[in-house]
Amino acid sequence: MTRNKSKPRINGSMSVEEALANRRSHRDFHGDAISADQLLQILWAAYGYVQADGLRTTPSAGATYPLEIYAVVGNVKGLEPGVYRYISPSHQIVKIVSKDVRRELCKAALGQSMVAEAPASVFLGAVFSRTTEQYGERGVKYVYMEIGHSAQNVYLQAEALGLGTCAIGAFTDSSVKKILNLPKNEEPLYLMPIGYCK
């Protein structure tokens, strides 16, 4: 299943300065659904294309683009529950797991309830070899820098949409890989629940 109903917005009602000033880590979410368009906009902010030549919203060492972005969907208008991979070039998502995995993911994230309560989460992983093949061991640092850039974009875009998020790095890697059906060469790095804040 793929979805690509709209193009990402490149203007909004909140300035970058306002989003920076208001950005917080939110851990309590209403059960209210978010829209598929909101989720796709956040995925675009995380790693979307800004030019046809492949430049993205996040800088990448040597344009190696090691990150892989996923949406964990539970209560999103217009989308069935499941896990979706974000396809940056076409700004669409493809379903890879056909069930609501939020409770399983919550357990893997050491019981952090916001993972189960938020209507969706953005998940960020990386294929380190894409960058280390070009930069050797130094490339590992570059991947960690890149994930930080991407996660901050998620924070700012969520704020601009009237939503909240919180970056989570505490989870059991092997469990997360199994739940999300990640390829062997992808390493889980960040989990970011998204929703309306209480």
In tens, the pLDDT along 142-196 reads: 999 999 999 999 999 999 999 999 999 999 999 999 999 999 999 999 999 999 9
Q: What is the pLDDT of residue 126?
A: 98
DSSP 166: -
Q: φ, ψ for residue 146 (rounded to 5)?
A: -65, -40
Average pLDDT, the chain: 92
DSSP string across 51-109: STTS-BSS--GGG---EEEEEEESSEETS-SEEEEEETTTTEEEEEE-S--HHHHHHHT
The pTM of the full predicted model, rounded to 2 decimals, is 0.93
Q: What is the pLDDT of residue 30?
A: 84
Instruction: Please give the torsion angle defined by the CA atoms of residues 55, 59, 61 and 62, in that order, rounded to the nearest 10 degrees.
Output: 20
For the chain, 198 residues long, the average pLDDT of each consecutive 10-residue run is 67 75 77 93 95 88 96 96 96 96 97 95 97 97 97 94 95 97 96 94
Size (the chain), residues: 198
Domains belonging to the chain, first-starting first, are 16-195 (3.40.109.10)
- The CA-atom distances, in angstroms, between 28 and each of 16, 113, 122, 176 are 24, 9, 16, 22
